[in-house]
């Protein structure tokens, strides 16, 4: 299944390597942190305040906090 999560870029931080971290404030108030290449960030014109849609394609999502996970599902 593919899901689109909409929101606004809250922060864009370039790392030491080729990756950048994008923090998206989702429409429902949650935050999504994604990693993209710097090249993609430039090509897509990503910047704080820009409205975006994050596409996810997964088989399953685990909504438990990392601290609560003891094994794979």
Entry pTM: 0.73
Domain limits at 41?
2-53
Any domain includes 42: yes
Tell whether the model's pLDDT for residue 72 goes beyond 70.
no
- Distance CA(21)–CA(23), nearest Å, equals 7
Any domain includes 36: yes
Any domain includes 68: no
Q: What angle do CA 11, 14, 20 make, to 5 degrees?
A: 80
Structure tokens at 63: 């909504």
* Phi, psi dihedral angles at 58 (to 5 degrees): -140, 165
pLDDT (tens digit per residue) in 5-23: 999 999 999 978 899 999 9
Q: What's the CATH code of the domain at 18?
A: 2.40.50.100
Give all strands (DSSP E) within 1-73, no chain letters.
2-14, 19-26, 31-37, 51-57
pLDDT (tens digit per residue) in 46-62: 999 999 999 887 666 67
Any domain includes 19: yes
């Amino acid at each position: 299944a593919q899901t689109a999560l909409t929101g606004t870029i809250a922060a864009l931080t370039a790392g030491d390597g080729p990756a950048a971290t994008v923090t998206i404030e989702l429409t429902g108030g949650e935050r999504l942190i994604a990693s993209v290449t710097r090249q993609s960030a430039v090509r897509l014109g990503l910047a704080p305040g820009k409205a975006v849609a994050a596409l996810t394609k997964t088989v399953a999502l685990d909504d438990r906090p990392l601290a609560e996970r003891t094994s794979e599902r």
